[in-house]
Structure 1
């Protein structure tokens, strides 16, 4: 009996790899297990190696596993590419169609199972993925019947006969493996039945759900990996709430259209990845100088240029903070879990309107597309805060030639905001420097007043932001402080636990508010540590440099960097941190 295992299915894109993983994972999620999945795929529509690695556990997990228990292979390339992850008791379930062989030096158990032949005998080779699910269930000693509800949900629209055939494929796959039993099954311990219905979802879906719950009613965007699922979700759901989505001709149009909708009073978002954010930079500056709320999701991926469109990276950090020309107030947020992605999407909408600034919700490919078990989302505490927007003001009548002071200089830096068309509320809007009414002005005194006003908006944000740093710090004097952001959290947590088992005192800070930086909170943790190790998926230690700029303590800083397109494994962080200690 095992408390957790790691399962991976691989093959060529377009031959049912994703559906195999979906049926397997959704079923186990409903049985009460916790799952964390990561999908490796190529940047093309069809063809190229793809795999889906899913960690299954009786306890909560937030990262993929170091090694592999079961590998389901639909081609020889899957074995060649992934077999090194298998431990000594690992199992390969491979389609007999391609006469599978193990690489030299890999000593694991191979089951050659006729996935394609069994499926073809049942009516179509397309069901080979269901045969593979059945074979996996036999290795884990699961009853085939546990998959029925999921199979019915997926195939019921095609008729009862299709449902029956797919269930038969599962049964046939399980029977074949049981007949070939080689004595090394991986039977899972039963999951605790606490009655909760947990979701199994990607971060992008949680972000979209957060925007819906936070009152977003318009989205303008252009499709791009790994952000497209946000738009796809909103296309399905937003009309049910009286909203709409427009697919624009490019990211420039998406950003400017979002600015226009926000100016009109509609809560609006857009989402993209690095190349799209590059195109949006001028528009982000426009939102800054016109003090128009703007919420943008940046799902980081491998760069520069087209780079690695379908691979993990965290290299947009500096660009998101400093990318625009000139100086504007800007907020950069970075959730680290699916639950936080939901909450931060709501908060991004609130902050954008309260401070009348661009807000960038920073994600990465692993968080955006990695699928994981999620506790029921909490809706009761959601609030919509619109700041100084007065939707129904009773404004005094203006004298001839007078205008409403939309950009009035205020102590907190946030000016009064009304909807266009408000009676007695006429004012100018322009991307050039302007006075309090919006009229262009190049006076040196006015320029300084308006710049100072805009830049003091966010002075106190780190103090009022909900959880600017996610802290796990039990030691007043720590041997090491781990620091990370976005999806590295789970791998860091596991590496931290392993070091503690070895006698080290380890604290962990995960940055949720990247800009303006929560220097006070981070400095307190840095001061308590003998060494600070910053873990990030980029080549130039961007987060470490931001910490040095805001906190100092360069002499304590070390970096663990990874920029090969793959996410961190807990074992990698553990091993590399020991080399630094």
Structure 2
């Protein structure tokens, strides 16, 4: 029987949720399973409810499901928050010490959710305590498994006599609960040990033996428990890594020869720069010859005082000849608008990785969104060329980050790489089979010899001018004003028009040269009864939905948009002109990509499925939405699943 389970661990922010989930994911991966994981959390340092969802399967999957097979509750709030999503026949693991906790005692839970739960409890006749919820779950076919911490921790204390019991409770409950869940699912303990070894490295390595001892006690404690879930190891002859979106982008940049990265700390972008700081030399095979040659140089990573400085420092590094990038999110990109326009005017190669989060303003700083698409496409006063690329999964994030550095230098313009928060903070198994021959660094047209008549902005047939690097090539001038071929300020109408056409013409070159597979991809048959359209982190979800509907006999395909500037108008028009029922799926209110399609192709997509809650889009809710559209012909469905 195929393995496909949803495992969720919940608890207070700062309570080790990430650690427990990472041990779980890596244990499963070591045992040969594919994993997808997503971290959801409040914009809060410590205390608010945080949870981590992991889908474990024996075949690759693209997205998460909203229904839960196993809920690991580290506190009472996790029980109250997630109990309605546990499926019949599923499992809840809970500590008996939380049984008497009442809903009104949860100081961090939002009042709106409390009100909805009170109404539900009142109608269903449920006592508003953890025990009341447990009794309700058991009456509805959910298996509730209890851990008696007092007994278990006494056993642990005997083995770890040098650790006092109070600190043990706070520091290790995440590993206790995670190990209990893997034990009752039949995962051999050796794989949990491997998961611990993957997570507890470096300065955390001293905690490894403590955690291994705890896991041994928990496995003994859980021996009598049998469940309907069985996870025997699977042998696979493949190389694979588990990465999140921030790490994937960082790896792509490192392999692409990045030399200078700037950032101002902002969620969820900052983790990318942290990773580069810690791993500015990555020993992943294959790597490019150029990257090997630069390994000893490392990468300069600068935390700036604000995002204005971040973009301007990256531009300065690009002018100086370094492969340069910055990473930001939400309000940070707003501060980078003027600097990006300067880079466009002066044809400076720079990459901006933009991690989309829920706005406007501060919005919901730790939640997902795809609502910045239109802004990114038009940011800046006046008109200047930029490439806008979006990644749909972690494999693409690695490849796109690599290519973005090439495009920035090849076409001498800003490249904006879009990664939404769901992709940034989610993890997945990535098969490491990247072809070394495809990883070639292209630095574009660079002049290193003095020229008597050197013109930095020379009018050329394709719009790309010879670029000089200070200290290595001829002298040139830069200004924020309109300029002539030398870079000198001018307001002459003829020169103005020539320079404008030169800059904008580079997009035509990029459109001709960049392969169509880097701009758009079609999955499934060329023509279909149902065409799903999406971009960013909806990719995996829509592939799963496509496969589900195909198994039911529907002819379904999926059009993934990757590049919005230059836009693959002809390809998109050709695909959508064959579609019988076209459904656009996005994490924004206005279905912005559908609007871009109408602008560029004249085709209006009438059926739109959107989500603005800030939570990830789930496979099952999109499936249900498509079936509803088939039945009722709804033109707009707003998705709501996820606490």
Q: What TM-score, normalized by structure 1, do the two folds share? A: 0.94
> What is the CA–CA distance in structure 2 between the aligned matches of 1:534 and 1:494, rounded to whole Å?
15
Q: Secondary structure of 1:257's partner?
A: helix
Check 1:93–1:437 CA distance in 2 against 1; reply closer, same or farther (3 A cut): same
Q: In the alignment, what sits opposite 2:444?
A: 387
1:127 aligns with 2:172: yes
Matches within 5 A, 1:32-431: 32-99=32-99, 100-101=130-131, 103=133, 105-106=136-137, 107=140, 108-115=142-149, 118-119=152-153, 121-122=156-157, 123=163, 124-125=168-169, 126-152=171-197, 154-155=199-200, 163-179=208-224, 181=225, 184-191=227-234, 193-238=235-280, 241-242=296-297, 243-376=299-432, 378=434, 380=436, 381-390=438-447, 392-396=448-452, 404-422=454-472, 425-431=474-480
> What is the CA–CA distance in structure 2 between the aligned matches of 1:154 and 1:535, rounded to whole Å?
35
Q: Please, which moves more after superposition, 65-74 or 265-274?
A: 65-74
Q: Does the aligned pair in 2 maintain the 1:9–1:71 contact within 8 Å?
A: yes
Q: Please, which moves more after superposition, 158-167 or 340-349?
A: 158-167
Q: In the alignment, what sits opposite 1:445?
A: 494
1:491 shift after superposition: 0.9
Q: Secondary structure of 1:456's partner?
A: helix
Q: How many residues end up aligned between the 2 structures? A: 568
Structure 2 residue runs without a partner (length 5+): 100-129, 158-162, 282-294, 631-643
CA-atom RMSD in angstroms = 2.0
1:174 shift after superposition: 2.8
Matches within 5 A, 1:375-524: 375-376=431-432, 378=434, 380=436, 381-390=438-447, 392-396=448-452, 404-422=454-472, 425-466=474-515, 467=517, 468-476=519-527, 478-524=528-574
> Residue deviations 1:108-156, cap 9 Å, x none?
1111102465236524222222221221122211222322233345557
> Residue deviations 1:416-468, cap 9 Å, x none?
11112456x22220010011111100011111111111111011423432311
Q: Does the aligned pair in 2 maintain the 1:303–1:309 contact within 8 Å?
A: yes
1:475 shift after superposition: 4.2
Q: In the alignment, what sits opposite 2:593?
A: 543
> Residue deviations 1:241-269, cap 9 Å, x none?
41211100000000000111000100011
1:413 shift after superposition: 1.2
Q: Please, which moves more after superposition, 82-91 or 277-286?
A: 82-91
> What is the CA–CA distance in structure 1 between the aligned matches of 2:207 and 2:480, rounded to whole Å?
60
Q: Please, which moves more after superposition, 213-222 or 462-471?
A: 462-471
Check 1:502–1:351 CA distance in 2 against 1; reply closer, same or farther (3 A cut): same
Check 1:162–1:216 CA distance in 2 against 1; reply closer, same or farther (3 A cut): closer
1:173 shift after superposition: 2.3
Check 1:491–1:154 CA distance in 2 against 1; reply closer, same or farther (3 A cut): closer
> What is the CA–CA distance in structure 1 between the aligned matches of 2:358 and 2:493, rounded to whole Å?
43
> What is the CA–CA distance in structure 2 between the aligned matches of 1:88 and 1:36, rounded to whole Å?
22
1:503 shift after superposition: 2.6
1:160 shift after superposition: 9.5
Structure 1 residue runs without a partner (length 5+): 399-403
> What is the CA–CA distance in structure 1 between the aligned matches of 2:489 and 2:615, rounded to whole Å?
49
Q: In the alignment, what sits opposite 1:401?
A: none
Q: Secondary structure of 2:81's partner?
A: helix
> What is the CA–CA distance in structure 1 between the aligned matches of 2:50 and 2:343, rounded to whole Å?
40
Q: What TM-score, normalized by structure 2, do the two folds share? A: 0.85
Q: Please, which moves more after superposition, 56-65 or 276-285?
A: 56-65
1:21 aligns with 2:8: no
> Residue deviations 1:468-522, cap 9 Å, x none?
112113143x212111111101111111122223332111111111111110111
Q: Secondary structure of 1:101's partner?
A: helix
> Residue deviations 1:296-343, cap 9 Å, x none?
000101111111111111001000001111000011001111111111
> What is the CA–CA distance in structure 2 between the aligned matches of 1:119 and 1:360, rounded to whole Å?
51
Q: In the alignment, what sits opposite 1:557?
A: 606
Q: In the alignment, what sits opposite 1:30?
A: 30
1:185 shift after superposition: 3.1
Check 1:475–1:352 CA distance in 2 against 1; reply closer, same or farther (3 A cut): closer
1:158 shift after superposition: 7.7
Q: Does the aligned pair in 1 maintain the 2:476–2:486 contact within 8 Å?
A: yes
